[in-house]
Structure 1
Amino acid sequence: MVASAPLSHPSSPENFGDRPENSPSSSDFPARHIGVSTEDIPQMLDVLGVASLDDLISKTVPQGIRLAQSLNLPAAKSEYAALQHLKEIASQNKIYRSFIGMGYYDTITPTVILRNILENPGWYTAYTPYQPEIAQGRLEALLNFQTMIIDLTGLEIANASLLDEATAAAEAMTLSYGVCKNQATSFFVSHDCHPQTIEVLQTRAKPLGINIIVGDRHSFDFSQPIFGAILQYPATDGSIYDYRAFVEKAHAVGALVTVAADPLSLTLYTPPGEFGADIAVGSTQRFGVPLGYGGPHAAYFATKEAYKRQVPGRIVGVSKDIHGKPALRLALQTREQHIRREKATSNICTAQVLLAVIASMYAVYHGAAGLKRIAQDIHQKTTTLAAGLTHLGYKITTETFFDTLKVELGKTQLSDILAACEAKTINIRVFDTNTVGISLDETTTLGDIQDLLEVFAPSAVLPSPVSPSPSPLLRNSPFLNHPVFNKYHSETELLRYIHRLQAKDLSLTTSMIPLGSCTMKLNATSEMIPVTWAEFGKLHPFAPSSQTQGYATLCQQLETWLGEITGFAGVSLQPNAGSQGEYAGLLVIQQYHANRGESHRNVCLIPTSAHGTNPASAVMCGMKVVAVACDDQGNIDVDDLRAKAQQHSSELAALMVTYPSTHGVFETAIQEICAIVHNHGGQVYMDGANMNAQVGLCRPGDIGADVCHLNLHKTFCIPHGGGGPGVGPIGVAAHLVPFLPGHSVVSLGDTASIGAVSAAPWGSASILVISWMYIVMMGATGLTTATQVAILNANYIAKRLENYYPVLYKGEHGFVAHECILDLRALKKSANIEIDDVAKRLMDYGFHAPTVSWPVAGTIMVEPTESESLEELDRFCDALIAIREEIAEIESGKADMQDNLLKNAPHTAESLISGEWSHPYSRDRAAYPAPWTREHKFWVAVGRIDAAFGDRNFVCSCLPMDAY
């Protein structure tokens, strides 16, 4: 544990963050991160009728779980000092030229995309496009991504991205298992697949009872029943095989075939859909997304339209708005996974939106011709390298290849080759003591090829460029013909296109995004800057540890700090989304029981209020879900829990509980709840979605939880990126540490591990720097104050609005935690107003809606976070109060029950200025409902979207340009 001087608990405004002194190491960052000022706090406390922040916290957080001392974290640093310190850590990383391959390649991010998307808060601070009218730009970029994937793979539909190639392959396996009708339980995995993919498949298969057969496709005996198979294209050693015969045999026995394909290679070679594949998966990392030591990267998933209801993740679909204008939204399928709970086929509730946008813009910028030129250049250089190595007497075992060669060393010693690589700062792949692999990419130069040849023979001479031999698998079909991929090839045009799309999206650059349970807090610029440093961005995830000491230091420190914050003995950073953290945590519990000879424990107790991913994750782990009732206050019904635990005592595996509760309250019985589960032999999994209400005040490990996943993209400031990326690490108690995720390519320690849950050893490593910076700049005092102010802000909003919208749940002293649920259900009867009417009208006021109809239908869940100013909190409250007054006009008969400000919201500029105005309210009230809207107006790009039309007329690729 990193030592620090004892810090007093902040209990009053005068302890509001660390104040700047004359030293550059002192930090005033907490005062920049936290929106309300020291002068505001007494005023807000007065509204609540409490004397101090400590008084508020004592009435909100049960005393029995409160921390007795401050967190043991390093003293806070200033932004400048933190960046300098992180730069020193980054310098421990060594940037070698990596020719390792295995699905990861260096790439060139066009600077117009780097500056205007990856480094642009207008793109990275937006939320998931559940309110599509204020997310049309992002949705269009994702539709471009889907179109790109459909074209490249030759399949009929694609989703808006998944987390990485290995987990996408696992999703393909479970989809195949669910839809296959031949009753088989075995899945064939070609040994030519990447090793990290094979391991993730094995991890996913085990709890579901799926038998993984890793073997040679040539010798596989199809008399052994299989429900599916996966092939790598090109193979992990670079070979390009003709899979048509295998696909035909698989189909003959009723199995589905998945092909894991490199999308850049598909510009030259026959796409999977054209040789019979049912599913294609892969990574779009080499489409302009930095290596980042393994992530985040956008995987893709494409399949046949027959399986559209089973596709994991999100699909952007085309619909229309109330004016008949084409409009985009997430298709019904996206919501079904949450609704289906334990019947869901996937627990994925996210995507890699920001990375998918980058990849799609890479394709928009280069177009089909540009992508093909890049692929041809790589292939030509690979052919030249192969000729040079052959001339030197080495055998190339990959007969047909795209960018990767497998080279037999013959009499040359591997140690000599590796020493020569080290001298030239080069990494290559080692298959065994006599065989190595070399993968080229778009950054490879002729100078690199010369250096590679000299690794094998110091006196080697670069041969003249060699033309590739014609391949029978060359692609003949066109791709990326849509105008969007053919209009924006100059930087000027692409810049304007990116800006047009950005202007259609509401992000944190516009206003607060008050989504309950989603924690849309500040993503500080100083936290974001290191993400694009080359020292973090250009490292291959399988580079030797001697080159990655900076990452080792960063990850070790972050694990230690998160362990201190949560009270756990061990932390794994590998899960690359909250849903993956849930899954990994439950697998660890399962492995613990199995290790004790109690593998029969398979019942998972889950409160009825839980997020839909909870039961989905449990089912993915092979568990049986048993629902636990909640009382009228939204708390777990302890009597029902006790009865269910007793009923299932011999097979109880775990309880999944969110704390504070899904209803935004600190349940006072939480320690009793944990004790009940432990007394019956179960483990307690705590969903850390609401951890931002605990940091510095209490700790899951002290409360009684055995496992807790954290959403670094919520509590610890990684931005939502328009719906991804995220990071979902897990903390575990000491007895569970041996079972934390491992990795077959890079050893992470204990042999009792559950195996890999992500393709890369440390998941989305490059964005861990954001959370590292946040903790370093906040320090223990700042983090604790942030939690206190988050609770203060939520209670302030609840208090201001309670006379207009009832607050559904409160703690025993009448206070909420970091979020509050406002009950709008009575408005349906009194004014025919639905929850969506309020959500859409808020857009006219310039706000994103809170979380709607979850966890209780007909309510909104509001979370202001600690980063918003008192002025912004009041502005939001004023908007909701004004909307309530608009509803009152309907209730009194002054406004029409159907044709009113809410039913017609949101109002587009076009609808306000074009044609006749037939509504009984003025254009002025529709457009400028509050004073601030006259100073700065966010205009929605489309009117209210007809989601049902889009679900009836499913389209998930680009329409002709004249339709927009």
Structure 2
Amino acid sequence: MRTDAFALRHIGPSENDLQHMFKTIGVDSLEQLIYETVPDNILLKNPLNLDAPLSEYEYLNHIQELGKKNKVFKSYIGLGYHPTVIPAVIQRNIFENPGWYTAYTPYQAEIAQGRLEAILNFQTTVIELSGMEIANASLLDESTAAAEAMALLFDVRSREQKKNNVCKFFVSEEILPQTLSVLQTRSTPIGVELVVGNHETFDFSNDYFGAILQYPGKYGQVNDYAGFIAKAKTAEIKVAVAADILSLVKLTPPGEMGADVVVGTTQRFGIPMGYGGPHAAFFATKEEYKRSMPGRIIGVTIDTNGNRALRMALQTREQHIKREKATSNICTAQVLLAVMAGMYAVYHGPKGLQYIADKVHNSASTLADALNKLGVYQTNAAFFDTILVKADANKVKAIAEKQEVNFYYVDADTISISVNETTSISDINQIIFIFAEATGKDSFTVTELTTANNLPKSLERTSSFLQHEVFNNHHSESQLMRYIKKLERKDLSLNHSMISLGSCTMKLNAAAEMLPLSMANWNSIHPFAPIEQAEGYQIMLKKLEHQLNVVTGFAGTTLQPNSGAQGEYAGLMVIRAYHLSRGDNHRNVCLIPASAHGTNPASAAMAGMQIIVTKTMENGNIDVEDLKAKAIEHADNLSCLMVTYPSTHGVFESAICEITQLIHDNGGLVYMDGANMNAQVGLTNPATIGADVCHLNLHKTFAIPHGGGGPGVGPICVNEKLVPFLPTNPVIKVGGDQAITAISAAPYGSALVCLISYGYITMLGAEGLKKSTQFAILNANYMKARLENHYPILYSGEMGRAAHEMILDCRAFEEKGIKVTDIAKRLMDYGFHAPTVSFPVAGTLMVEPTESEDLAELDRFCDAMISIRKEIEASTKEDENNILRNAPHTLAMLTTDTWSFPYTREQAAFPLDYIAENKFWPSVRRVDEAYGDRNLVCSCAPIEAYM
């Protein structure tokens, strides 16, 4: 046994388990199983051309050496990214804790109450600092949040505006450059016309439906927007404000000025810059827009006993359920980062945040005064943390870089300097020295911070914030550590048991992959630092792009999209750019099979495409004849096909090459959704099946943890003809020579967590990656063999095999009064998170074990499902007081004096022997979904206040 082989640690079943598994499935070898699962004509003939795998020890040495090539300068660049102090208690107990980072999106509320409370804290922080009525559970970054604000305001135009096709959107020239670029990307396909200009000279004509302002502006100027917003309201123009969240501690919130939407990033609330991400954006608006709001909202409801419980509210409002009627394709958040930012507010409380904001502002004021004395004049009339000075940029840059300091050089004689939470008096003196040398003046030293106020009197915040007890009780490390632990105990994560979610691939997130994220020379670099200072990052990112090219068989990759749905959108926008470059402006028809993920049509709608749905046959496969008819019918305007492979039904369709050729023959391109890439890596690839572009979920197939609902990374890989169109960034040039504008804010998206996938591929190598795929298929077929005598399996391949996942049909149990949700809730009593419920077929469970689960865990899950099947058999439709409908069972139920159920306490909580030694207790009974939607509460106020 090679104890230093990473594959041994990543892959669950041992060599000793194989014969038993083969016998159960009915095959003689792994090779036979793969032959019976994957069509022979798409199997790769050669192994992946990747470097030999490194052991964990070798990899960590390698990543430390690579990290030394990154130069961590003092960063005063600003533009929405700031050095920050990550409280150690949050870093150790959340950021580095698998109890938090391996959890799944909280669809099963009863076993996610801890995370839900942490996100509720985040939403409360955002609502109270922004002055708005509701906030969501976070978005991907500030720039995409701004684009979502534009789309929301476009969606909620008045009937008159829609009738007259009012489509102009004003963008203040103060907006961050990366935000402008993302707005440009997102506006054109949906028919919005951007007009960039000065807010002071804006004409408020009836051609406009909305506007967006930056507060403070990109180079630090603080403007009073109350007058602008009042005039806009009179003209029926709705206003979004992109705001710096720390400045809102001291400034009048945009909500109090009358803003309709407030967006921004919470990065400076204790989240490392990480060369661009991941960071939790925020999105707050008025309650009247709640059904148009993108993303997720965490809401307060009650459980079966009437006790307070939390859940994802208004779930049917989620955009992917609207499909082609969607105004957003967002189906995720940045939960782990939102949890950290919310916990930063809990730890510091209102007084602590006031202290930090005062220190930052006083540091900026002290620096401005000192530079003025040198004759380097500060030009912002009012500022919070960023000053704009006049000096010779080339001279300053040369001296500053020798001192390992970065400023932002606006032009030849204008420099922007953003101070931050980490800025000390010695840092201020270093900056004074740099400018003194550049101007030939004598330097001097400041010894204390000024308390002079450089904010307009009219904009000083007067309203209170964060008065709820949660923000005022946890200011010592002991208190916060115990609060975090209390919440963690309410959540079921991968550190407790397998999470067998079809389509979501909850595999091991190995500790060796995660460790580098805490290293300062990886997590402390500004995304707009000169690239020569990020040599380690450049090497790692280029190597990861190459690895992904090899895995997919494609020629180019962009890592910029920071979610899978954003990857879908990026892929479609690249296809769109390709057609436009050839003068095929009319090619806008997108064919999508009926079985596709809901984000597919939502992404296509956002890309301005006309969606034509193609039929699916009874066996779950694409109806090739229907597809052919529609491809020929729309041949003149065909843009692309969106296809998931293996299919959403967990099957390798043998007609895939015929399908892709059909699209090419009719002038279209093929976009492959990479959701099920875990069944392809090393066996086949998107290029081999005939796709032109695919997105990959690095947070699924390539081991980035789900973090309770994010971070995600959704890069796209493209063939040679699409490489020129890969997206760029306005500050750091990336992408192709005919690049589309930015997809997300940072040049390389969530670069920090790309280290995880780089580690995963580097430690597994070609053989380990292929083996992982083979074992994912093995584990799925082992479970299928064990469960198919108890549950009908809805679809399987031509030789009766599943790919890496399968669908258990639970619809017949409704005759006994048992719904699929009853099974999902009952699984909690057995210590498991439910598989994917009612997707892609209502009334079913989609199960995906991944390669990381060992035989004992697979058997525990199968035993639980078989035991539940016996409980279903014993149920009757008339018996509402039964064990499944009452599930889950809490500790409070088990320990009451009275027991009014027709089964024993042991049957309720300990139905199988293995549970006793490792019992997980759901912290609430079944939540009342409808109550929570009728009484939407998404902040920390007690529920009584809303009754």
Q: TM-score, normalised by structure 1?
A: 0.96
Deviation by residue 1:416-444 (Cα, 9 ceiling, x = unmatched): 10111012100000100010000000100
Deviation by residue 1:357-382 (Cα, 9 ceiling, x = unmatched): 00000000000000010000110111
Letter in 1 for 2:376: Y
Letter in 2 for 1:837: D
Determine which of 402, 408, 413 is the counterpart of 2:390.
408
Distance 1:753 1:245 in 2: 39
Distance 2:749 2:132 in 1: 28
Deviation by residue 1:86-129 (Cα, 9 ceiling, x = unmatched): 11111110000000000000000100000000000000000000
**Aligned match of 2:146:** 169
**Aligned match of 1:740:** 726
Distance 1:591 1:308 in 2: 33
Question: Is 1:883 equivalent to 2:868 in the alignment?
Answer: yes
Letter in 2 for 1:870: L
Distance 1:334 1:362 in 2: 31
Letter in 1 for 2:513: E
Determine which of 414, 419, 430 is the counterpart of 1:435.
414
User: Cα offset for 1:335?
Assistant: 4.9
**Aligned match of 1:135:** 112
Question: Is 1:647 equivalent to 2:633 in the alignment?
Answer: yes
User: Cα offset for 1:749?
Assistant: 4.7
The 1:961–1:363 alpha-carbon spacing in structure 2 relative to 1, beyond 3 Å, is: farther
User: Cα offset for 1:224?
Assistant: 5.7
**Aligned match of 1:859:** 844
**8 A Cα contact 2:425 2:449, kept in partner:** no
The equivalences for 1:332-343 within 5 A come to: 332-333=314-315, 335-343=317-325
Deviation by residue 1:775-814 (Cα, 9 ceiling, x = unmatched): 1110100110010000000011011000100000000000
**Aligned match of 1:766:** 752
Distance 2:315 2:894 in 1: 33
Determine which of 343, 350, 367 is the counterpart of 2:332.
350
**Aligned match of 2:450:** 466
Gap regions ≥5 residues in structure 1: 1-18, 22-26
**8 A Cα contact 2:125 2:342, kept in partner:** yes
**Aligned match of 2:854:** 869
**8 A Cα contact 1:279 1:302, kept in partner:** yes
Question: Is 1:77 equivalent to 2:62 in the alignment?
Answer: no
Question: Is 1:911 equivalent to 2:890 in the alignment?
Answer: no
**8 A Cα contact 1:314 1:334, kept in partner:** no
**Aligned residues: CA RMSD:** 1.2
Deviation by residue 1:807-850 (Cα, 9 ceiling, x = unmatched): 00000000010000000110001x11000000000000000000
**Aligned match of 1:958:** 940
**8 A Cα contact 2:320 2:330, kept in partner:** no
**8 A Cα contact 2:937 2:943, kept in partner:** no
Determine which of 208, 214, 225 is the counterpart of 2:190.
208
**8 A Cα contact 2:364 2:419, kept in partner:** yes
**8 A Cα contact 2:129 2:465, kept in partner:** yes
Distance 1:405 1:80 in 2: 45
Distance 2:207 2:805 in 1: 51
Distance 2:653 2:317 in 1: 29
**8 A Cα contact 2:523 2:752, kept in partner:** yes
Residue 128 of structure 2 aligns to a residue whose secondary structure is helix
**Aligned match of 1:156:** 133
**Aligned match of 1:3:** none
**Aligned match of 1:117:** 94
Distance 1:711 1:334 in 2: 24
Distance 2:233 2:897 in 1: 57
Determine which of 224, 246, 253 is the counterpart of 1:264.
246
Deviation by residue 1:525-564 (Cα, 9 ceiling, x = unmatched): 0000001111110000000011001000000000001000
User: Cα offset for 1:915?
Assistant: 4.2
Letter in 1 for 2:647: S
Deviation by residue 1:827-876 (Cα, 9 ceiling, x = unmatched): 001x1100000000000000000000000001100000000010000000
Deviation by residue 1:564-592 (Cα, 9 ceiling, x = unmatched): 00000000000000010000000000000
Distance 1:807 1:432 in 2: 64
Question: Is 1:699 equivalent to 2:681 in the alignment?
Answer: no
The 1:334–1:408 alpha-carbon spacing in structure 2 relative to 1, beyond 3 Å, is: farther
User: Cα offset for 1:134?
Assistant: 0.3
Question: Is 1:301 equivalent to 2:301 in the alignment?
Answer: no
**Aligned match of 2:775:** 789
**Aligned match of 1:425:** 404
The equivalences for 1:482-501 within 5 A come to: 482-501=468-487
User: Cα offset for 1:414?
Assistant: 2.0
Distance 1:327 1:599 in 2: 51
**8 A Cα contact 1:742 1:750, kept in partner:** yes
Letter in 2 for 1:369: K
The equivalences for 1:654-733 within 5 A come to: 654-733=640-719
Distance 1:349 1:171 in 2: 13
The equivalences for 1:242-641 within 5 A come to: 242-333=224-315, 335-409=317-391, 413-458=392-437, 459-463=442-446, 465-469=449-453, 471-641=457-627
User: Cα offset for 1:221?
Assistant: 1.8
**8 A Cα contact 2:641 2:663, kept in partner:** yes
**8 A Cα contact 2:206 2:235, kept in partner:** no
Deviation by residue 1:730-769 (Cα, 9 ceiling, x = unmatched): 0001000000111111011534111100000000000011
User: Cα offset for 1:462?
Assistant: 2.7
Distance 1:926 1:827 in 2: 20
User: Cα offset for 1:293?
Assistant: 0.3
Deviation by residue 1:592-641 (Cα, 9 ceiling, x = unmatched): 00000001111110011111100000000000111011001111000000
**8 A Cα contact 2:27 2:33, kept in partner:** yes
User: Cα offset for 1:723?
Assistant: 0.5
**Aligned match of 1:753:** 739
Greater shift in the superposed pair: 208-217 or 332-341 = 332-341
Residue 242 of structure 1 aligns to a residue whose secondary structure is coil
Distance 2:468 2:543 in 1: 48
Gap regions ≥5 residues in structure 2: none
Determine which of 811, 825, 832 is the counterpart of 2:811.
825
**8 A Cα contact 1:379 1:468, kept in partner:** no
Deviation by residue 1:919-952 (Cα, 9 ceiling, x = unmatched): 1111111011111111110000000001011001
Greater shift in the superposed pair: 458-467 or 325-334 = 458-467
Residue 396 of structure 1 aligns to a residue whose secondary structure is coil
**8 A Cα contact 1:379 1:403, kept in partner:** yes
The 1:848–1:749 alpha-carbon spacing in structure 2 relative to 1, beyond 3 Å, is: closer
Question: Is 1:848 equivalent to 2:830 in the alignment?
Answer: no
Q: TM-score, normalised by structure 2?
A: 0.98
Deviation by residue 1:485-531 (Cα, 9 ceiling, x = unmatched): 00101111100000000000000011000000100000000000001
User: Cα offset for 1:961?
Assistant: 9.2
**Aligned match of 1:4:** none
Distance 2:585 2:167 in 1: 20
Determine which of 66, 72, 77 is the counterpart of 1:95.
72
Residue 760 of structure 1 aligns to a residue whose secondary structure is coil
Letter in 2 for 1:510: H
Percentage of pairs with the same residue: 58
Residue 613 of structure 2 aligns to a residue whose secondary structure is strand
Distance 2:315 2:244 in 1: 26
Determine which of 879, 902, 909 is the counterpart of 1:897.
879
**Aligned match of 1:9:** none
Greater shift in the superposed pair: 80-89 or 515-524 = 80-89
Distance 1:874 1:316 in 2: 34
User: Cα offset for 1:886?
Assistant: 0.6
**Aligned match of 1:5:** none
**8 A Cα contact 2:699 2:713, kept in partner:** yes
Distance 1:664 1:886 in 2: 27
User: Cα offset for 1:917?
Assistant: 1.1
Residue 457 of structure 1 aligns to a residue whose secondary structure is helix
**8 A Cα contact 2:275 2:751, kept in partner:** yes
Letter in 2 for 1:690: N
The 1:806–1:335 alpha-carbon spacing in structure 2 relative to 1, beyond 3 Å, is: farther
**8 A Cα contact 2:84 2:271, kept in partner:** yes
User: Cα offset for 1:466?
Assistant: 2.2
